[in-house]
Amino acid sequence: MSTENEGNAVPPAPSAPPVPVETPAASAQGASYAGSAPTAPIPAVPGAPEHASAPVGGPAYASDGAGQGADPYGQAPTQGSAPEAGWPPPPPVTPSYADGGGSGAGGWGSSYQQPAPKPRNGRGGLVAAVLVAALVAGGVGGGIGYSLAKNDDDSTDSTTVSAPSSSGEVKRASGTVANVAAGALPSTVTIEAQSTNGEGGTGTGFVFDKQGHILTNNHVVADAVDGGKLTATFPSGKKYDAEVVGHAQGYDVAVIKLKNAPSDLKPLALGDSDKVAVGDSTIAIGAPFGLSNTVTTGIISAKNRPVASSDGSASSKSSYMSALQTDASINPGNSGGPLLDASGAVIGINSAIQSSSSGGLGGSGQSGSIGLGFAIPVNQAKYVAQQLIQSGKPVYAKIGASVSLEEGTGGAKITEQGASGASAVESGGPAAKAGLKPGDVITKLDGMVVDSGPTLIGAIWTHKPGDTVKLTYTRDGKTHTVDVTLGSREGDS
């Protein structure tokens, strides 16, 4: 499966629609501001003009999608492999903004015509006296009505119940979404990365340790790697400059460090992604479309989902993961944010989304949540982060063979030739020692079905160099099984 990662630039947030304007005669009630709740309709005042304003619809936003790419873990196949021209394909067309709305006018009541005054006569005093008496009676009646209403509200027959004023703050039980979010948000940051030419975007990260290291995605900070600007902002509003400690394009993991980091940092607890089960609750935190500190919920939809993602640039190599799939809403800007379990422990790093290839505005695709989000398992991310902090470079496990990235091969097929004319099977490497040859099709790794080259790459990278895995492959129509001790490769080149 090929998806797009999401760390795109964010359009401005839409403004709130205006509310109906009050009548001039009612201006003493106070002006109503945009963004506040509409007030109740006010009856028209005698002689005053009627006036109403319909709200104008705000723009609906969509983000551009990203393309796909491929990198057969450092050994790009040449002849006999999948055509590289297909990796990455061109990105989908960017949808335009959508605006809508209208205006109109209408009264909130029929107009009132003052009756013509009657001719004055000798009984004018009597009329005035009657009017005064009526006003007094009306005041008495109003007072009696208020008293009766108050007494009725205080009676034991009232059907409404009010919360005690001394109840204090609401206490939320451990394990609730609100409780988990309250504990995790202070340790989550919104990252802004900017290249030397001013390009960049927004993503998310979270506190990894007390020394000020922040764990995020490689594609979130890629713009700031070569002399760019990088900042991290906490929900409290405190903003820190940061620097890239190390980044792994293949894993799509990066570590940055806060400059002048505060001493009270609280790292998020890391869970065990191997123990996650399909159906477990998930909580995602991020800055979708620039809306920082956004919390969404869902479940684990699948495990070990093979995903190849790319930022869509011509020079970009793909990232491969055996991902956790979740239906928690993930959008551009959520990249690098934590995916939490019900206890608040990090089980993954939100990294990629699958977007609809059709539909949307004007018939073009939209880069947005359709319930298919993918996260790097935290066990893998933790290992990569530790390597980056120690040496600044990633270390990849490998079998020492180039495989085709072509779909429909029934597995991961070892190509006839490697990169730049080199042998497809590295001499003296793990695959060669296990007896693998060009043309062999690897169909399983430790019993897990392998349906393509990207699936094999993602599965291998969940392991560490020196691990022994069991590979099942076919050759000349016969199935074989062999143990392979994984080698290592340092760096992204």
Residue 310 to residues 288, 424, 481: CA-CA distances in angstroms?
A: 18, 24, 33
Measured between alpha carbons, how far is 174 from 243 in angstroms, rounded to an integer? 35
Q: What are phi and psi of 294, to 5 degrees?
A: -90, 135
Residue for token digits 């239906």?
327
Report which of 382, 462, 391 is spatially closest to residue 209, judged by C-alpha positions: 382
Give the burial class of 480: count Cβ atoms within 10 A of its Cβ; 0-12 exposed, 13-18 middle, 19 or more buried: middle
3-state secondary structure of 202: strand
Measured between alpha carbons, how far is 261 from 281 in angstroms, rounded to an integer? 32
Report which of 246, 272, 256 is spatially closest to residue 203, judged by C-alpha positions: 256
CB-based contact 308:77 (threshold 8 Å): no
Please state, as a whole number, how many other Cβ atoms lie within 10 Å of the Cβ of residue 261: 18
Instruction: Give the DSSP per-residue string, 356-416.
Output: -SS-SGGG---BS-SS-EEEEEHHHHHHHHHHHHHHSS-EEEE-SB-B---TTSSSEEBPS
Report which of 261, 265, 218 is spatially closest to residue 242, judged by C-alpha positions: 261
Q: Which tokens in the block code for residue 393?
A: 């470079």
Cis preceding-peptide flag for 88 (omega within 30 of 0):
yes
Q: Which amino acid is at 339?
A: L
Report which of 131, 104, 74, 64 is spatially closest to residue 312, judged by C-alpha positions: 64
Catalytic residue positions, numbered: 219, 252, 335
CB-based contact 257:214 (threshold 8 Å): yes
- 324 beta partners: 375
Report which of 342, 341, 353 is spatially closest to residue 378, judged by C-alpha positions: 341
